[in-house]
Amino acid sequence: PILDIFGRRFYPTWTRLARKARAGDDRVYLQQKVNWHPGQEVVVTTTIWDDTDVGTPNQNEVRTIKAVGDGGTVVQFDRPLEYTHYAGTEYQGEVALLSRHVNLEGEPDSE
């Protein structure tokens, strides 16, 4: 029996915000170009200083990519962000790709 595994390399798998993403924004601006695709899921990490004071365990937000533009540095989401994600000189929120594409193929006569 033969098993072939095919996939696509997405790079980078995470990057930092190039500017602050405000609550209500439906896109983020990234420091690095990405080759991500519409339909994939990403997480925008929380940037609040102390997440025990706000009544929620964190402000991480998972979103589905609607479009990627400006050479891969702008990612538009299917719905707006609920929270503000900081990006300043001292630190920046991170955006990480959660989705992967892998195809598994076996021989037609294998079980």
Give 49-100 as a DSSP string: S-TTSSSSS---EEEEEEEEEGGGTEEEESS--SS-B-B-SS-B-EEEE---
Report the distance separating Cα 81 and Cα 18, nearest Å.
16
pTM score: 0.84
**Per-residue confidence band for 45, with pLDDT thresholds at 50, 70 and 90:** very high
**Per-residue confidence band for 111, with pLDDT thresholds at 50, 70 and 90:** low
Tell me the mean pLDDT in the region 83-88: 95
Tell whether the model's pLDDT for residue 83 goes beyond 80.
yes
Report the distance separating Cα 64 and Cα 26, nearest Å.
11
Instruction: Quote the tokens at residue 82.
Output: 């609920």
Report the distance separating Cα 85 and Cα 49, nearest Å.
11
